[in-house]
Structure 1
Amino acid sequence: MKTSALILFSALVLGSTSISAQTLLVDRVRAESAVSEPVRGMTMTQVEARYGAPQSKLDPRGGQKRQWPTINRWEYPNFIVYFEKSKVIDVVLLKAAPTEVGPAPAAL
């Protein structure tokens, strides 16, 4: 009796689970390294020469005091480039792959 109940329970549990693939952070990092993106230290001129004009140049932030450098952000289709003065300090990929499903962007 216990064996048949266990088999029935196992069949129900295994039969009711759906199989879906999830992108792990490790997989996303590997995929990000395959995407061509600006590297830290590139100048604005170098970024524009290599990747073309950005879709938009967001208003600069900071610069009110000497110790607060001006930060510029340029938006491209696949990434956003952050500049301190005129040098790249960071690049954020919007998606590691076209098929990636992630959180919806925050409304600005």
Structure 2
Amino acid sequence: MFKHRTNLPLLAAIVVGAGLVAAQAAHAQETLTQRVQDEKSMHLPARGLSMAQVEKAYGEPLRKLSPRGGDSSRHPTINRWEYSNFIVYFENTHVIHSVLNTPAGNNRNPAAVN
């Protein structure tokens, strides 16, 4: 007769690993939720503002990153301006999105993004 043997150390490692993954996922969700709340409470450049309006209201950015895209109408030119606390994304010359420049957003080095 065949006896079933349980490998308890392996089973325990799987259970602990699954618990760690669940805890990391919960932390990531909490971090994302906090980031969204932080962005809402800050006065970030609003969608639709022109580059000139952003520069007038927020001053000269720390860096104007190299434009991306622009090779077709389906891929418009995207410009990124970096300020000390946030990054502004422009489609052609108008704001499409502004995000906090935080580790939670993985925006520590936006110039490295290809």
Unaligned runs of 5+ in 2: 1-26
TM-score (norm 1): 0.64
Runs of 4 or more off by more than 4 Å in structure 1?
101-104
State whether structure 2 residue 83 is matched by structure 1 residue 76: yes
The 8 Å contact of residues 101 and 108 in structure 2, kept in 1 or not, is answered as no
How far apart are the structure 1 equivalents of 2:107 and 2:56? 30
Q: How many residues align?
A: 82
CA distance in 1, matches of 2:67, 2:55: 17
TM-score by length of 2: 0.61
Structure 1, unmatched stretches of 5+, are 1-21, 96-100
The residue matched to 2:49 in structure 1 has which SS? coil
In the aligned structure 2, how far is the partner of 1:50 from the partner of 1:26?
27
Partner of 2:56: 49
- Please list the CA deviations of residues 60-100 of structure 1 after superposition, one character each: whole Å capped at 9, or x if unmatched: 001112321100000000100000011100111113xxxxx
Question: Aligned pair 1:105/2:112, yes or no?
Answer: no
> In proportion to residue count, which structure has more helix?
2
Paired residues for 1:79-94 under 5 Å: 79-94=86-101
CA RMSD of aligned residues (A): 2.4
* 1:36 counterpart = 2:36: no
Identity %: 49
